[in-house]
């Protein structure tokens, strides 16, 4: 099964309409995205909890790393730069943090509130190499922007 982003976007919008609690939004988005695509082995958020520091937020899948500094890993790179990280081979990413040994590729998207403040990152891991495309990144960027626009 591959994500139908049009339907996924509508489903998430319907479930989260009027919600502005960041944790509730993260939990709902993580669940819906995780179950939308067989490529998605781990799906979740890392929240900005202190300057230059991410801590695990709502997720689906096995355990994740609890704390990630902005200076380390794919999630740290997305938080530090504010740029989507599309990584076809995590072994080739210098400084990759192996939270799960099964991860082969990764897509990490920065998550911004309606005021432009970085709330965290949305991390999707796959046990398949080169699992993600720019189309995935673009569709998920749009879903995240719509979902978190009401968070101040």
Whether the pLDDT of residue 113 is over 80: the answer is yes
pLDDT at 117: 96
Q: At what angle do helices 22-34 and 134-148 cross, to 10 degrees?
A: 150
pLDDT at 44: 97
Q: What is the mean pLDDT of residues 105-119?
A: 96
Q: What is the pTM of this model?
A: 0.95
Residues 6+ apart with CB under 8 A from 129: 88, 89, 104, 105
Domains and CATH numbers, the chain: 5-148 (3.30.450.40)
Q: Between 96 and 79, whose confidence is greater?
A: 79
Q: Is the dihedral angle over the CA atoms 106, 128, 5, 36 positive or is it negative?
A: negative
pLDDT at 149: 96
Q: What is the pLDDT of residues 125-138, one digit of tens each?
A: 999 999 999 999 99
pLDDT at 20: 94
Confidence of residue 101 (pLDDT cuts 50, 70, 90): confident
Query: Hey, how many other C-beta atoms are within 10 angstroms of the C-beta on 116?
Result: 7
Confidence of residue 152 (pLDDT cuts 50, 70, 90): confident
Q: Mean pLDDT, the chain, as a whole number?
A: 94
Confidence of residue 93 (pLDDT cuts 50, 70, 90): confident
Q: What is the pLDDT of residues 34-92, one digit of tens each?
A: 999 999 999 999 999 999 999 999 999 998 899 999 999 999 999 999 999 999 998 88
Query: Hey, how many other C-beta atoms are within 10 angstroms of the C-beta on 138?
Result: 12
CA Rg, the chain, in Å? Answer: 14
């Amino acid at each position: 099964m591959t994500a139908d982003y049009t339907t996924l976007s509508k489903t998430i919008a319907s479930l989260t309409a009027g919600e502005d609690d960041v944790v509730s939004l993260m939990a709902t988005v993580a669940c819906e995205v995780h179950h939308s695509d067989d490529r998605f082995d781990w799906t979740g958020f890392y929240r900005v909890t202190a300057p230059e520091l991410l801590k695990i937020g709502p997720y689906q899948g096995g355990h994740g790393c609890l704390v990630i500094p902005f200076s380390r890993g794919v999630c740290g790179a997305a938080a530090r730069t504010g740029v989507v990280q599309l990584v076809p081979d995590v072994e080739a990413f210098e400084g990759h943090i192996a939270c799960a040994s099964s991860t082969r590729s990764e897509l990490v998207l920065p998550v911004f509130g309606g005021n432009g403040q970085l709330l965290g990152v949305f991390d999707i891991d796959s046990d398949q190499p080169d699992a993600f495309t720019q189309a995935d990144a673009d569709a998920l960027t749009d879903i995240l922007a719509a979902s978190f626009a009401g968070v101040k």
